[in-house]
Amino acid sequence: MAMLVVKVGGGRGIDYDAVCADLAELHRLARPWLLVHGGSHETNVLSEALGHPPRFVTSASGYESRYTDRATLEIFEMAYCGKVNKGIVERLQRLDVPAIGLAGLDGRLLSGRRKSTVTIVEGGKKKVLRDDHTGKITTVNTELIRVLYDAGYALVVCPPAISDDHVAVNVDGDRAAARIAEAVKADDLVILSNVPGLLRDPDDDKTLIPHIAPDTLNAHFDYAQGRMKKKLMAAREALDGGVGRVVLGDARIAQPIQAALGGRGTVIGHPTDHRA
Ligand code: ADP
């Protein structure tokens, strides 16, 4: 059976217990899955506590990201690869799922190019920041994924990835999930966060857009602010890469994955590709 790739965000309000319970049920139903997770809220909390507050920058093309100098990268690893990853693995183990947690750099699961400088716009002016540890995934180690699956493990994956010149790089989790979904030929990619899906008005849950045909996806970018743009970009990359459909679902509800697979959220794909 084709693999399901699930991305769960790291924002406030995400119910990891519900996500893990749902993954455990899918595991019992023999539906293979791979989980990619975020950790932005935990990283912010830890950064503040360690006296190195987060800095979010907006690129010249209008995308928001975390400026990741070396100290930030290390705090990012503590939050993502430490607290959040191991918390999810622990929950899944408690539910009898043979979960194994890996960062993208472990076994070069996710590798790519580092962008050590970033051009940002601040106060209407362009500025170049150096010592950035961010990057773009170029290769997914599908052989490693296959070996671990064949041995019976369920994978829980998070950034950072590893660059071609062997430096850990912060990569966007949604786009990492899209690349993995493409590489493992997933039929579905479910992206869960702390909103019901793509909203016409980000402050009003009642303005949910339930369905987007792939050829109209670009026209929907105007609704997305901040990091929601990255989710739409990830959706576009996944669909272009052959993934059947992408669902933007709510991580704050019971059975969030099965709800998304049942069409709750924003479904991006052709109606004929709805296989849930
Ligand atoms: P995660 O950490 O779960 O990956 P983010 O917090 O980065 O997710 O992105 C989800 C956020 O995007 C929401 O909390 C919401 O505030 C914001 N957002 C911006 N525009 C929209 C929109 N049009 N519809 C829904 N959410 C939006």
Is the per-residue pLDDT at 271 higher than 90?
Answer: no
- In short, whether 190's Cβ falls inside 6 Å of ligand 1 is no
pLDDT score of 66 = 87
Index of the ligand 1 atom closest to the CA of residue 8: 3
pLDDT tens across 117-143, in order?
889 998 889 999 999 999 999 999 999
The pLDDT mean for the chain works out to 94
**Helices 70-77 and 40-49, axial angle in degrees (round to 10):** 120
pLDDT higher at 62 or 87: 87
Q: Does the pLDDT at position 274 exceed 90?
A: no
What is the domain-level CATH number for residue 150?
3.40.1160.10
Distance CA(193)–CA(11), nearest Å, equals 7
Residue of minimum CA distance from atom 4 in ligand 1: 9
Could you tell me the distance, in angstroms and rounded to a whole number, from the CA of residue 198 to the centre of ligand 1?
8
Name the residue at shortest CA distance from atom 11 of ligand 1: 228
CA nearest ligand 1 atom 5, residue = 227
Rounded Cα distance, 109 and 30, in Å:
24
Sign of the torsion formed by the C-alpha atoms of 236, 145, 102 and 100:
positive
Task: Kindly state if the Cβ of 193 falls inside 6 Å of ligand 1.
Answer: yes
- The contacts of residue 168 (CB under 8 Å, 6+ apart) are 73, 77, 105, 133, 160, 161, 162
9 lines ligand 1 (CB under 6 A): yes
Q: Which helix (H) or strand (E) holds 223?
A: none
Write the CB contacts of 102 (distance below 8 Å, at least 6 apart in sequence): 109, 155, 156, 157, 158
Q: How much distance in Å is there from the Cα of 28 to the middle of ligand 1?
A: 31
Q: Is 159 in the pocket of ligand 1 (CB under 6 A)?
A: no
Measure Cα distances from 199 to 7, 8, 73, 121, 210 in Å.
19, 18, 31, 26, 9
Count structural domains, the chain.
Answer: 1
Q: Is the pLDDT confidence value at 180 over 70?
A: yes
Ligand 1 neighbourhood includes 207 CB (under 6 angstroms): no
- Ligand 1 atom 12 nearest Cα: 228
Q: Is the CB of 198 under 6 A from ligand 1?
A: yes
In short, whether 99's Cβ falls inside 6 Å of ligand 1 is no
Is the Cβ atom of 40 under 6 angstroms away from ligand 1? yes
Residue span of the structural domain in which 173 resides: 4-273
The residue nearest atom 19 of ligand 1, judged by CA position, is 225
- 168-206 as b/e: b if 16+ CB within 10 A: bbbbbbbbbbbbbbbbbebbbbbbbbebbbbbeeeeeee
User: Residue 272: its pLDDT value, please?
Assistant: 56
Please list, in sequence order, all residues whose beta carbon lies within 8 angstroms of the beta carbon of residue 124, skipping any fewer than 6 positions away.
none
Mean pLDDT of 151-180: 97
pLDDT tens-digit map of 224-239? 998 899 999 999 999 9
